[in-house]
Structures are given as C-alpha cells and as structure tokens.
Structure 1
Amino acid sequence: MRMSMEREKVRFPSGGTECAAWHYPGTNGACVVMAPGGGVTKEPGTDPFAARFHAAGFSVLAFDYRRFGESGGAPRQILDIEEQLADWRAAIARAATLPGVDPSRVAAWGFSASGGHIFQVASRAPRLAAAIAQTPLADGPVASRRAMAYQTPWGMLRLTVRGLLDAAGGLVGRKPLLVPLAGPPGTVAMLTTPDGNEGDRALNPGNRYPDWQQEVAARSALSLSFYRPGRQASKARCPLLVVVCDQDRSALPGPAVDAARRAPQAELVHLPGGHYAPFMDAHEPAVEAELAFLQRHLLDETPPAGHGAAVTADPSARSRS
C-alpha cells in the first residue's frame, strides 16, 4: 500500500505495556489521534480516514489498544473500558510530543465503541482541542435492548452464559473465551444486527487485512452492554463533532443525538445508512464533514462554501433510534 511510504511505526507506554501506533507526519502542526472500534485493529479501523486527514496536512497517530493488534498486553482480545480510556490518555500525551505537532492542536477521533469513548475522552483531557465521535456507542443498555430484536432468545442466552463463564474464568487466570465480532441471528456473536454483519465487507474489503482477528473475549459483550459514555457529553471540554447514521441498528443514532444535545460545544452531522456507512457509501460526506470540523477548530480555517456534509444547526434535533 502507498501509505506504507508515508507513515512510521511508533510505540508508547500505557499501563505497564506498550501500545503500537502508526504515525503519519503532517505539515500543518495539528494532529489527529485515532483508535478503531471495539475488537478492530488500527489498520482496518482507521486507514481510510487517516489517509485523508494526512493528505490534508494533518499528522495522525492511529493506535491499537492494549491486548489488540500489535500492542502489548495479555491475555489477548479483552476489551477493558478503563484500560482503553487509559490508552487514550497515553496516546494523546504521545501525540503532543511528535515532531512538528503543536500540543495545543491535538484532536481525538473514534468510531463505534471508540466513538463512545470519545465522550469520556473529551471530558477528561483538558488540553484536547477537538474530538470526533463517529457512529458512537453512546448508550450500551439501549443498544443492547434494541439488538435483541435481531437475536434469538437462545442465541442471547448462550452469549450471556459464555460472557459470564469468561468473566469468571478471568478471575482465576483462565484463557479468554472468544466470540466472533458479528454473526447471523442465533449465533453466539457480539453483533447480530443487519448492519453489524457488514463490518468485514466495510473494513476488510477483499481480505485486505488478513491478520485482523475478528474475535473478542465474551466478557467484553457484558461490559459494553452496561457502558453509557454519552452521559459524560455534558462535561466535554472541547468542540465535539458527532456523526450519526440514521439507519444505524448497532450503536443507534438516538442516544448519540441526545449526547450531542447535552454537550456544550457540539456539532451534529446526520448521514444515511447503517453503522458502517462512513466506510462505504457515506465515506465522502463523512470525511468532508470531519475535515471541515478539524480545519475550523485546529487550524482556524473556514472551508470553501459547499464543502462538507450538512451540519444540524439545532443540536436538540432528535434521530429516531
């Protein structure tokens, strides 16, 4: 891939281990720190957007959470929310030290579960200049209840039991019990929603990333089902862009819109399509809206008229969930 000539591998410490990241050196002094969705590694989860941000002059630091991808940490494939939030803090601190980066012009970008983390990150990182939450998981309990419409009772029971067994096994040092990130209704998988099953096609076209292990520890499903990061939106300390897809059946647009309404400096973009639409048919409007936001808040630039997707002017506007 051409990007291999434009980026370099870096590592930074977090929680007693090291996280691996791609650093794309930029030219405009600003940096976008990026992390992929739950159970996704940095290449399939950030490459398409990182390349566009970099082409526009931004430095990019796209990292793997500990226990995933090229980062350290064991046991593997465990999505631990507090660990991942700590990885965000470490990544933002590392970005501020990159050559050519102004520490006052660092932004955070995440989608899906990482998009949910963005609400927390924006409320906890005082020096962050801007943040983007793309199709974020803003309310785990609401998303989990809606997901039951796309799962059989037997499938839901098996996932719950596997999650409980995995959590109990973790207490005594047993190897994690893994489940696929997605699968059809009735199977034991993290997502059985229609758009959830588009993840491989959206992020891994033509098996471009064969090393991506599309499994997570079953206990991860339990932790995400209780996770409500959107409640922290009111404490966001920086401008926040929330990108929702109106037919998202995996993370749901409604809770994300509510979170945007509560945030002090939020902008809201509605796009058509499901959870992964920004990686597929809605990629161009998503990238344009996000670049316009970054240029305004990191570079104090106003993009040309007509550039970017329409932004909802009234953050109290509600999406049907």
Structure 2
Amino acid sequence: MLKTLTLAAAIAVALASTAFAAPRVERVTFASHGEQIVGDLYLPEDLDAMEARPALVVTGAWMTVKEQMSARYAREMADRGFVALTFDFRGWGESGGARRQYEDPSAKIADIEAAVAYLATRPETDKDRIGGLGICASSGYMVTAAAKNTAIKSVALVAPWLHDAEVVERTYGGKDGVAQLEAVGDAAEAAYRSTGKQAFLPAASLTDDRAIMFKVPYYTEPDRGMIPAWRNETDPAFWRGWLTFDAIQAAPRLHQPFLMVHSEAAAIPQGAHKFYTRLTNSKPKRVLWLDEVTQFDFYDRAAPVKAASDAVDAHFRTTLGSAGKAGQ
C-alpha cells in the first residue's frame, strides 16, 4: 500500500492530538558478545504488572547514542502503550567495547539480536510480540537482523538509509569517490592494527571539513543532536565496512510484516524504493511517504515525528496486537 501525507496534514494531525501520559524509564544492562550493553527501557505509564505488552527494540542513526533520535521514538512508542528499548551499541556511549566510535555493521546487527533476546526475558514483555523499529542507518541493521531472526515478529523503518553497491556509488561520488573513502579507511585500519591506537575525526562540524558529516544540521545544534551524552568523534577506519555493507540484500529474505515511513526530500530515497520493490515476502507491507520532510527533521521535529510515530503505532498494533490503554 502506498500513501503520501503532506507536511501540512501532518501538522494538523499533531495539533489535533491529545497528550499521552509520560512513560517511566528504567536503566538496564545486558550482554552482547562478552561486552556490557547499557540501555533505557521505556515503560508505559499505565503498565499493568499482570499484563505482558508487545515490545520494540528501537535503534537510531549511525554514530549516535541512545539519548538521541532513538530516545525520541522510544518515548513516542511508550506513550502509545508499547514497551520500548533503546541502547548504546558496543563501542558507543555507555556500553562496553575496547574499540570506540567505530561504525561496525556486523557488530551492530549482533547487538540488535542481543537486545531482542534481552527483551524476551523481561516480565513486562510478551516474547512472542517483539518488533524492531529502525531509524536512518540502523534500518539496514534492523532488516538484516530480522531477515535471520524470527524472534523479531514485525519491522518498521523511519527515514531509512538503505544502500547497496549501486546506491553507494550514486551517493558517494561514483567509483572514484568510493575508492578514495575506502583508501582513507584502509589507512586508518592499518595504523590501528600497527599501533593498537585509534585516530579519530569529528563526526560532525560546521567548520572542520575533515568531519564525516560536514555542515549538516541536528548534530551541530546544541538544542538537537549535539548533546552531552554524544561524543562527536568517529574512527575513519569504518569506511570500507560501511560502504560494502548491503542492506538491500535483506529485502527478499524478510518475511515479517513491514512498514516504511520516508520522504523524497530525505536521504537516499532511491535506496528505499529499491528495497521496497524487492520486498516480495513481507505481508502486509506498507510505505508512507511524507512530503518535504528532511532526513534530520524526521529525528526530532514535532510534526514529522508525530506522523511517523502514529503510522508505526498503527503498524505494530495491527501486527503485534494491543498495546494497552494508551492506544485505546
């Protein structure tokens, strides 16, 4: 099913909505491949100790921590009655891991699976009703985890960054641009293997053109993504692993119900279209396109977040079942 919602309509919906009760947030820890993962578990205000709820693992953009966009969406989902878990991947934020600030798709996929396994042990959670909500880059990690892990019963993506080799070339300056980035990453990896020490670059900056994200919003704004919990650095050795990661290959292997919320004005919509076209086994599958919403506005702007969250809520309520009083 294909649907387009204008930003003006989304704003009207947001203004007409009623407030939800504030969720309770519990700090939690669990293990992934021998390292401690630190997370925040968002619990609906009306949670009944005798009632196991559907639960969601919520993951954010690359190079981020649990207090950024994933926290916003976890809170939105808990507001609507779901148990929602967000966490720091290994090497990021408060979680363990000797190698820091290193974007590793395979490790993050494994961490998502560990988070799902942890959620299944929680008394508030119905282990047969666990879903995955991926935002931006972690969308690729989420669908890859779901394609091989049947414990994830339903999937939703918001502003998904989904690429394969073809999309990578179109996004990063063709074969030459990709080769240059891989060379930078390979040099950093060789130095790390030789010395055991990491060399970091700014993740985002308005003035330093070495930054991985140069002159971008959200991460460079103190009232948005530039928060104390976020370390504005990254290990450039990640480039080859990131550029060769293929998220689109998961599409035909995905069998769970699927929702995607995106915008043609956001990042690499061509990858989202390509993924959705190849999504042949997910039933039901649905995509909602919002007009004139940028990638970064999906992270924290009221109207796009509200529109996306309402669509995600409806998807998971249909595919995972009732989420309690907040959604009734």
Which residue in the other structure is 1:311 paired with?
A: none
In the alignment, is residue 228 of structure 1 matched against residue 252 of structure 2? no
- 1:7 is aligned to 2:30: no
Mapped to 2, the partners of 1:295 and 1:63 lie a distance apart of 23
Match of 1:199 in 2: 218
The answer to whether the Cα contact below 8 Å between 1:190 and 1:221 also exists between their aligned partners in 2 is no
- The equivalent of 1:291 in structure 2 is 313
Match of 1:211? 229
Shift of 1:214: 2.2
The residue number in structure 2 matching 1:277 is 297
Identity %: 22
SS of 2:155's partner is: strand
Highest relative contact order (Cα 8 Å, sep 6+), 1 or 2?
A: 2
- In structure 1, what is the Cα distance between the partners aligned to 2:186 and 2:164? 17
| Partner Cα distance (1:22, 1:165) in 2 | 36
User: Partners in 1 of 2:137 and 2:224 — Cα distance?
Assistant: 24
How far 1:185 moved relative to its partner?
9.7
Q: Does 1:267 align with 2:294?
A: no
CA contact under 8 A between 1:143 and 1:225: conserved in structure 2? no
Aligned residue among 148, 155, 167 for 1:124:
148
Deviation per residue, 1:187-231 (Å, 9 max, x gap)? 223234x7xx123267x5267721301221101222211111111
What code does the residue aligned with 1:178 have?
F
Instruction: Tell me the TM-score normalised to structure 1 length.
Output: 0.81
**Residue in 2 aligned with 1:316?**
none
Q: How does 1:1-321 map to 2 (within 5 A)?
A: 6-26=24-44, 27=47, 29-148=53-172, 157=180, 160-183=182-205, 187-192=209-214, 197-200=216-219, 205=223, 209-249=227-267, 252-263=268-279, 264-265=281-282, 266-272=285-291, 273-279=293-299, 280=301, 281-299=303-321
Match of 2:16 in 1: none
Superposed CA deviations along residues 35-68 of structure 1, whole A, max 9, x for unmatched, are 2211100011312111111111111111110000
What is the CA-CA distance between 1:181 and the residue it aligns to? 2.5
The SS at the match of 2:56 is strand
- Note if contact 1:35-1:65 (Cα within 8 Å) is conserved in structure 2: no
Residue 313 of structure 1: aligned partner: none
Q: Structure 1: where are the runs of 5+ without partners?
A: 302-306, 308-321
Aligned residues of 2:68 and 2:225 also touching (Cα < 8 A): no
TM-superposed deviation, 1:183:
4.3
Report how far residue 86 of structure 1 moved. Answer: 0.9
- Give the TM-score of the pair, scaled to structure 2: 0.80
| Aligned mates of 1:148, 1:56 — CA distance in 2 | 38
Instruction: Please give the per-residue CA displacement for 1:56-110, whole angstroms capped at 9, x wherever unaligned.
Output: 1111111110000010001211111111111111100001111221101101111
CA-based RMSD of the aligned residues comes to 2.9
**Residue type matched to 2:29 in 1?**
R
In 2, distance between residues paired with 1:89 and 1:126? 10
